[in-house]
Copies of this chain bind each other. A is one copy, B any other.
Amino acid sequence: MADLHPDIAPLGFLLGTWRGSGTGVYPTIEDFAYDEEVTIGHMGKPFLRYEQRTKRAGTGDPLHTEVGYWRAAGDRAELVIAQPTGVTEALAGPIDGTSVALASVQIGLAPTAKEVVTTERRITVDGNTMHYTLLMGAVGQPHQLHLDATLTRIAE
C-alpha cells in the first residue's frame, strides 16, 4: 500500500469503506429509504478514488451508483463525479477539519439526461461515523434537500 500523497492528506479522513443508510426526498418523487456502500481509496497519487452504490431498503433493488475523484488544493476540496444517469458534477468547497462542504461548479448533461442544475454536498466525519446531506436543484425544482445519510467506516 502506497503512502497517502501529502497533497491529498487534508482529505485523508474520508478514506475507507463505509456502510449505512439514508433517506431521499424530492417534490417529484415518493420519499424513499436506502442502504449505501461507499469506498474511498488512494494509490499514492494526489487524489482519492470514490465509488458509491445504493440499494432500496427492504427490497435491495439497486438505486444509484456514482464514481469519481477527490482532489485537494490547500484547504479547498474538489470532487468530480460521473453518474449513469448521464450527469457529471464538478464540485468545490472548503475543508474544515473533518468536514467538507461542496457546491457544484459545473454540471454536465448527456443529451438524454434529466436536467440537474445545482448540487451541494456536505460531509462530516466524526471518528468512524460519516454524515452527509445532498441538496439538489433539478427538473424545474428549486435547490433543496434530496438525501440525508449516516454511514459507518467498516474498513480502513
Contact = CB atoms under 8 A, between A and B. Distances in A.
A154 interface: no
Interface SS of chain A: strand
A145 interface: no
Interface residues of A, number: 36
Given A68-B67, A89-B108, A108-B105, A83 B80 contact: yes
Interface in A58-89: 62, 65, 67-69, 71, 73, 76, 78-84, 86-89
Contacts of A111: 73, 76, 78, 92, 105
Nearest to A93: B111
State the 4 A-B residue pairs at the shortest beta-carbon distance, nearest first.
A88-B88, A106-B108, A78-B110, A90-B108
